[in-house]
Chain A
Amino acid sequence: MSEHLPILMVLVPLLSAPLVVFIKHRKASRVIATLACALSACAAWTLALQMSSAVSYPLGGWRPAIGIELRVDFAGAYVAAIVSTIATFAISLGTRGTREDVVGREMFFYAAFLMCVAGLMGMVVTGDAFNVFVFLEISSLSTYTLVAMGKERRALTAALNYLFLGTLGGTFVLIGIGLMYQMTGTLNAAAVSARIREVEHLRTTHVAFAFLAVGLGIKLAVFPLHQWLPGAYSQAPHAVSSFLAGTATKVMYFQLIRVVVSFFGVAYVFDTLHFGDFLLPLSLVAMFAGSLSAIFQPSLRRLLAYSSIGQVGYLTLALSLGTEAGLNAGLLHLGAHAVTKTALFLIAAAFIAQVGDDRLDRLSGLGKRYPLLSLGFVLGGLSLIGVPGTVGFVSKWALLEAVLAGGRPWLAFLILASSMLAVVYVFRVVEVLYFRAPLANAPPLARERADWGSWVPAGLLVLVSVGLGVWSELPSEYVATAAQSLFGGAR
Chain B
Amino acid sequence: MNALTQLFPGALMILGACFVPLFRGRARSAYVLALPLLSAAHLALFSLGHQGSATLFGYTLELVRVDALSRIFGVIFHIAAFLCCLYAFHVKRPLEHVATLVYAGAAIGATFAGDLLTLFVFWELTALSSVFLILARGLDEPERRERVFRVSMRYLVIQVGSGVLLLAGTLLYYQGTRSLHFGRMNLEESPGALFIFLAFGIKAAFPLLHNWVQDAYPEASVSGTVVLASFTTKLAIYALARGFAGTDVLIPIGACMTAFPIFFAVLENDLRRVLAYSLNNQLGYMVVGIGVGTELAINGAAAHAFAHILYKGLLLMSMGAVLYRTGTIKASELGGLHKSMPLTTAFCIIGALSISAFPGLSGFVTKSMIVSAVGEAHLLVIFGVLLFASAGVCDHSGIKIPFFTFFAHDQGWKVQEAPKHMLLAMGLAAALCIGIGVFPSALYALLPFPEAAAQYHAYETTHVLTMLQLLFFAGLAFITLVRLGVYPPELPAINLDTDYFYRRPLKRFVVESYALASWVRERTWGMALGLRGRALASLRRNHEPPRGRLGEPWTAGATTLFAALMLFTLLLLTSSAGCGGGEDAEANDARLLLDRVGAIEGVPEQAFEARMERVEVLRRLPLRGESLIAVREACAEMHGALLEADVQNALIHSIGAPDEDTPAEELARLERAFTAAEAAAARVVVHRDACVDGTATLRARYAPDRRGSE
Contact = CB atoms under 8 A, between A and B. Distances in A.
Interface stretch (A97-105, A117-125, A164-172): A164-172
Interface stretch (B164-172, B408-416, B631-639): B164-172
A209 B567 contact: no
A210 B571 CA distance: 6
Contacts of B120: 388
Contact of A278 (B157, B175, B553, B570): B570
A158 interface: yes
B554 interface: yes
Contacts of A427: 131, 153, 156
B550 A158 contact: yes
With a 10 A CB-CB cut-off, give which of A202, A207, A388 has the most chain B CB atoms: A388
Contacts, number: 164
B508 to A, nearest CB: 16
A227 interface: yes
A152 B57 contact: no
A110 to B, nearest CB: 26
A397 B545 contact: no
Given A224-B559, A409-B172, A195 B545 contact: no
B620 A185 contact: yes
B157 A203 contact: no
A95 interface: no
B554 A201 contact: no
B571 to A, nearest CB: 5
Given A206-B575, A435-B139, A224 B157 contact: no
Contacts of B6: none
Contact of A437 (B95, B142, B191, B560): B142
B135 to A, nearest CB: 5
Contacts of B191: 409
Interface in A439-479: 472-473, 476
**Main secondary structure on B side of the interface with A:** helix
B485 interface: no
A157 B545 contact: yes
A388 B121 contact: yes
B441 interface: no
Interface stretch (B218-226, B331-339, B363-371, B591-599): B591-599
B588 to A, nearest CB: 7
Nearest to A409: B172
B57 A213 contact: no
A436 B552 CA distance: 29
Contacts of A413: 168
B580 interface: yes
With a 10 A CB-CB cut-off, give which of A214, A217, A472 has the most chain B CB atoms: A214
A157 B550 contact: yes
A171 B653 CA distance: 55
B56 interface: yes
Contacts of B486: none
Interface stretch (A126-134, A138-146, A414-422): A414-422
Nearest to B569: A278
Nearest to B545: A153
With a 10 A CB-CB cut-off, give which of A412, A427, A434 has the most chain B CB atoms: A427
Interface stretch (A45-53, A82-90, A269-277): A269-277
Interface residues of B, number: 69
Nearest to A277: B573
A203 B599 CA distance: 20
A22 B277 CA distance: 75
A119 B175 CA distance: 43
B242 interface: no
Interface string B564-597: 0111011101110111100000001001100110
Contact of A435 (B56, B138, B172): B138
B191 to A, nearest CB: 8
A207 B579 contact: no
Contacts of B149: 431, 435
B128 interface: yes
A153 B578 contact: no
Contacts of B565: 224
B550 A154 contact: yes
A377 interface: no
A95 B271 CA distance: 56
Nearest to B160: A423
A172 B167 CA distance: 41
With a 10 A CB-CB cut-off, give which of B21, B124, B595, B614 has the most chain A CB atoms: B124
Interface string A201-234: 1110011011101100110000011011011000
Contacts of B135: 431, 434-435
B145 A230 contact: no
B547 interface: yes
A404 B171 contact: yes
A185 B21 CA distance: 67
Given A388-B124, A394-B57, A420-B164, A224 B574 contact: no
A164 B124 contact: no
B63 to A, nearest CB: 13
A201 B138 contact: no
Contact of A436 (B125, B145, B578, B596): B145
Interface string A180-212: 000001000000000100110111001101110
Contacts of B588: 201-203
A240 interface: no
B686 interface: no
Given A227-B554, A272-B578, A198 B599 contact: yes
Contacts of A172: 563, 567
Given A198-B596, A198-B599, A203-B579, A214 B160 contact: no
B558 interface: yes
Contact of A228 (B125, B168, B559, B577): B559
B696 to A, nearest CB: 21
A227 B56 contact: no
A416 B167 contact: yes
A207 B95 CA distance: 59
A54 interface: no
Nearest to A378: B128
Interface string B499-517: 0000000000000001000
Contacts of A476: 57-58
Nearest to B123: A388
B546 interface: yes
A267 to B, nearest CB: 13
A202 B164 contact: no
A172 B145 CA distance: 51
B562 interface: yes
A314 to B, nearest CB: 15
B172 A198 contact: no
A10 B490 CA distance: 76
Contacts of B591: 201
B369 to A, nearest CB: 36
B161 interface: yes
Given A157-B550, A388-B120, A210 B570 contact: yes
B566 A273 contact: no
A277 B707 CA distance: 23
Contacts of B21: 371
18 contacts: A153-B545, A161-B550, A164-B560, A172-B563, A198-B599, A203-B588, A206-B578, A225-B563, A227-B559, A228-B556, A228-B559, A292-B514, A388-B124, A400-B171, A409-B168, A416-B168, A427-B156, A434-B95
Given A214-B567, A400-B171, A435-B138, 14 more contacts: A157-B545, A198-B614, A201-B592, A203-B578, A210-B570, A211-B567, A224-B565, A228-B556, A231-B552, A273-B577, A387-B124, A413-B168, A424-B153, A435-B139
Closest 8 CB pairs of A and B: A224-B562, A153-B545, A388-B121, A206-B574, A416-B164, A164-B556, A210-B570, A201-B579
Interface of A: 152-154, 156-158, 161, 164-165, 168-169, 172, 185, 195, 198-199, 201-203, 206-207, 209-211, 213-214, 217-218, 224-225, 227-228, 230-231, 272-275, 277-278, 292, 296, 371, 382, 387-389, 394, 397, 400-401, 404, 409, 412-413, 416-417, 419-420, 423-424, 427, 431, 434-437, 472-473, 476
